[in-house]
Amino acid sequence: MDKVTYPTGVENHGGTLRIWFSYKGKRVRESLGVPDTIKNRKIAGELRTAVCFSIKMGNFDYAERFPDSPNLRTFGIAPQDVTVADLTEKWLSLKEMEIASSTLGRYESVLKQMVARLGGHRLVADITQEDVLVARKDLMTGYHSPADGKKTIAKGRRVSTVNYYMVIMSGVFKFAVDNGYIEKNPFSSVPLLKRSRQPPDPLTKDEFIRLIDACFQRQHKNLWALAVYTGMRHGELCGLAWEDIDLKKGTLMVRRNRTKLNEFTLPKTLASTDRVIHLIQPAIDALKDQAELTRLGKQHQIKVMTREYGHSITQPCTFVFNPKLNDKTHRAGDCFSVNSISNVWDAAMRRAGIRHRKAYQSRHTYACWSLSVGANPSFIAAQMGHADAQMVFQVYGAWMPDNNALQVEILNKQLSDYAPHMPHTAVMTG
């Protein structure tokens, strides 16, 4: 059998041809992906000769000649054919493994809006800081300036929302930098917009009474009483089950959350998972009343997604709040959705004639009421599922008035019995 010969710099690699050459002092190999035939060996030899000549003449464009080569990263060369749409799709597919489904949905929405503004067909390397600034302005004003030039006007977004978009996209383009698609992140030099923090807007005691009175259903009264007296997130309320509650001990354990996509997940943060809420008497009273309505309801086996990608656990749940109680359409599910309880709040606020706030203010109401009467911030943080008291100080500082007198009263009551007896000094008389 005749020995197979190859042109200089051409070799067989797993049945296909590749060439090797020196570039910037390093020996590199590039796979051609063609079968090892006599004809292809000749063409590969000619290609290798042309590459070496271009390198010698100083006009070799590595990215143009081998656009998919992994060697581009070695030499710090950015691929020239990666579009904005390709980049965002790749980033999202890799990110999917580390985020919850609800977060993935938000990211998809953000990327869709930003790709439309930056131009999905445009090369990532062509995106400039000016493009980023124009997109940010469009988000704020409501303008939409797509590549086809047909502007549309919609409602402008809040500063916090725009900043959220910028942070997500900056992460996408940082991914592009880290992987050699571009040399500089055009989002890194665009500062976040300044915004004034909106202070909590809790219900007053009178407004709370009016809200409860405006709830037509007994179950709705119990739901919002429990929300205000525990500070639970609304998704946690939707997923609350009787299996989580011990009325004798006066405790409630938060084990799951219902997302806006109607999936069950673990609570929002690690500090929130399996946290024990110590119930005050009004919360216990609301649960005792609700027990008459749903405690003997049907138990369901609920699939709860964990933080590990693709992993779930099954939990037995007899839901505390059941929308089927007063459902006349026979279309209600086995537990409330986050949107449905927000609608209940909005309707009750209108009937009560109370200045409108978002339903999330029920959580703020619990924190503000508790802090205003001198509750320990660390205790409140644990009740609400915060990792520490820092968030409580930052958000609710205004509801922590100078209550030194109250603190002294508490200390006097608790510590006076332990104080040693101090004899009075005799008064000298002359």
**Residues assigned a catalytic role:** 233, 268, 363, 386, 396
Residue type, 296: L
Report helix, strand or coil for 244. helix
Question: In the chain, how long is the greatest CA-to-CA distance?
Answer: 134
Q: How many other β-carbons are positioned within 10 Å of the β-carbon of residue 266?
A: 19
Tokens at 193, concatenated: 């917009």
141 contacts: CB under 8 Å, gap ≥ 6: 156
Q: φ, ψ for residue 209 (rounded to 5)?
A: -60, -40
What is the helix (H) or strand (E) element at residue 222, kind and residue range? helix 218-230
238 contacts: CB under 8 Å, gap ≥ 6: 257, 258, 321, 335, 336, 337, 338, 341
* CA–CA dist 212, 214 (Å, integer): 5
Residue type, 181: Y
Tokens at 326, concatenated: 């007063």
Chain-centroid distance, C-alpha 409 = 43
Tokens 């054919």 identify what position? Answer: 81
> How are strands ordered across the β-sheet holding 300-305?
257-258, 264-265, 300-305, 312-317
* Of the candidates 266, 237, 265, the residue with the CA atom closest to the CA atom of residue 252: 237
DSSP state, residue 416: G
* Of the candidates 121, 145, 143, 152, the residue with the CA atom closest to the CA atom of residue 131: 145
* Of the candidates 336, 305, 299, 301, the residue with the CA atom closest to the CA atom of residue 315: 301
Compute the residue count for the chain. 430
Tokens 């978009």 identify what position? Answer: 165
- Dump the DSSP string for 364-385: HHHHHHHHHTT--HHHHHHHHT
R_g (Cα) of the chain, nearest Å = 32
* CA–CA dist 307, 23 (Å, integer): 45
